[in-house]
């Protein structure tokens, strides 16, 4: 049986990359909407299929499955606009790709007979990319009605991913976890690079010396878990090292708060790793008094 047809409403960083991966898996790509026609054309070139348009309804008309990959703030508005069109929504499936918003954001389409769910790849897309491997082996946060979830599950399997079925109430924390792992991790690395840059290293040099350390840490987290992967003064109980670090960190800005927050989190694993309670108390107090 031929695979279903798909339109991407918001063929931006995620939408274009997803469109490319779905095309490679045999889905029939139809409409590709972006606000700017030039952006939709760029996505069509990347995907190698689909019709670029700056008309939302035009892009949606011919597809069995619609992915709304527009910015979070535009999901409800776009759903309302589509629901108000002459399209017969009965039997079609509509997903949005926000990790935070509930499937309910698509309520106007559901009321018109569409099956609806949120379909959130737990991956980061910093640009439009023709890289189907980015969708393989990753998790997909799914929430919505039973019919749409069944379709989502099939797509996830075809992409080689793993479905994570979510309750609506769990989505804010689920999404906060994703943000910490991606944008948060990048911001943390950027902060570490900036410390070296403040001592005269170039941006490239700073990242070149620190990235292997970060990559090895990630590998350790994968191999032995996040707790055991914590090394450094907080698990060794090196009180003097922590004091010297705090003194060296800029007094203005977030540096000491960031260091202290991560230090407190590290100390939570230190007890299990055999650090004496007295050393943990001393380090906690130093972080509080910073
Ligand atoms: N990027 C990621 O890493 C990632 C990962 C998982 C989930 N998501 C989710 O995917 C969705 C899209 O994110 P993105 O990063 O791919 O965004 P993006 O690159 O900015 O793409 C947004 C798309 O929507 C169009 N658009 C922009 N403003 C619009 C509006 N007001 N009304 C209708 N369409 C509009 C854009 O058209 P133009 O190109 O013409 O501006 C573009 O096609 C969000 O819900 C986000 O939470 C993103």
Task: Please name the residue whose Cα sits nearest to atom 23 of ligand 1.
Answer: 10
Each residue's pLDDT tens digit, 106-164: 999 999 999 999 999 999 999 999 999 999 999 999 999 999 999 999 999 999 999 99
Look at residue 97 and tell me if it is in a domain.
yes
Same domain, 22 and 141: yes
Look at residue 188 and tell me if it is in a domain.
no
Same domain, 18 and 159: yes
Look at residue 217 and tell me if it is in a domain.
no
Return the pLDDT at 81: 98
d(CA 66, ligand 1 centre) in Å: 14
Same domain, 85 and 160: yes
d(CA 262, ligand 1 centre) in Å: 31
Q: Which of 121, 139, 166 is the last residue of a domain?
A: 166
- What is the residue whose two structure tokens read 């799914």? 142
- The answer to pTM > 0.85 is yes
Number of domains in the chain: 2
Task: Please name the residue whose Cα sits nearest to atom 41 of ligand 1.
Answer: 35
Same domain, 68 and 161: yes
Under the phi-then-psi rule, with left for phi > 0, alpha for psi from -120 to 50, and beta for the rest, what region is 90? beta
Return the pLDDT at 266: 95
In this structure, are strands 65-68 and 5-9 parallel, antiparallel, or unpaired? parallel
DSSP 130-176: --GGGGTT-EEEEEE-HHHHHHHHHHHHHHT-EEEE--GGGHHHHHH
Q: Which of 117, 134, 166 is the last residue of a domain?
A: 166
Residues with CB under 6 A from ligand 1: 10-15, 34-36, 39, 69-72, 74, 78, 97-99, 120-121, 124-125
Residue range of the domain that includes 279: 230-288
d(CA 35, ligand 1 centre) in Å: 10
Same domain, 250 and 120: no
Look at residue 156 and tell me if it is in a domain.
yes
Same domain, 243 and 121: no
- DSSP conformational letter for 94: E
Look at residue 212 and tell me if it is in a domain.
no
Task: Please name the residue whose Cα sits nearest to atom 11 of ligand 1.
Answer: 69
Specify whether the CB–CB gap between 59 and 78 falls below 8 A: no
Same domain, 92 and 19: yes
Structure tokens at 124: 């980061």
Same domain, 241 and 162: no
Look at residue 19 and tell me if it is in a domain.
yes
Each residue's pLDDT tens digit, 25-35: 999 999 999 99
Same domain, 132 and 259: no
d(CA 103, ligand 1 centre) in Å: 17
d(CA 104, ligand 1 centre) in Å: 19
- Cα angle 81, 126, 65 (rounded to 5 degrees) comes to 35
Look at residue 204 and tell me if it is in a domain.
no
Q: Which of 166, 190, 213 is the last residue of a domain?
A: 166
**Residue ranges in the chain modelled with pLDDT below 50:** none
Look at residue 276 and tell me if it is in a domain.
yes
Q: Ligand 1 pocket check: which of 9, 14, 16 to mutate, most ligand atoms within 8 Å of Cβ?
A: 14
């Amino acid at each position: 049986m031929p695979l279903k047809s798909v339109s991407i409403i918001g063929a931006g960083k995620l939408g274009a990359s997803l469109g490319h991966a779905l095309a490679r898996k045999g889905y029939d790509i139809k409409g590709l909407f972006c606000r700017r026609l030039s952006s939709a054309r760029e996505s069509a070139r990347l995907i190698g299929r689909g019709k670029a348009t700056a008309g939302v309804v035009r892009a949606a008309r011919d597809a069995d499955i619609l992915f709304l990959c527009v910015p979070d703030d535009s999901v409800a508005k776009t759903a309302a606009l589509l629901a108000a069109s002459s399209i017969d929504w009965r039997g079609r499936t509509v997903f949005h790709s926000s990790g935070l918003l509930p499937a309910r954001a698509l309520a106007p389409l559901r009321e018109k007979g569409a099956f609806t769910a949120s379909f959130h790849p737990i991956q980061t897309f910093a640009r439009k990319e023709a890289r189907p491997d980015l969708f393989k082996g990753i998790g997909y946060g799914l929430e919505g009605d039973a019919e749409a979830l069944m379709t989502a599950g099939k797509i996830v399997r075809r992409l080689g991913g793993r479905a994570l079925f979510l309750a609506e109430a769990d989505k804010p924390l689920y999404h906060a976890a994703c943000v910490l792992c991606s944008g948060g991790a990048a911001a943390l690395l950027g902060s570490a690079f900036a410390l070296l840059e403040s001592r005269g290293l170039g941006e490239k040099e700073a990242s070149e010396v620190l990235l292997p350390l970060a990559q090895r840490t990630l590998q350790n987290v994968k191999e032995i878990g996040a707790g055991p992967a914590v090394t450094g003064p907080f698990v060794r109980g090196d009180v003097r090292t922590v004091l010297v670090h705090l003194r060296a960190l800029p007094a203005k800005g977030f540096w000491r708060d960031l260091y202290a927050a991560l230090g407190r989190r590290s100390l939570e694993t230190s007890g299990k790793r055999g650090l004496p309670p007295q050393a943990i108390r001393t380090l906690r107090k130093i972080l509080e008094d910073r």
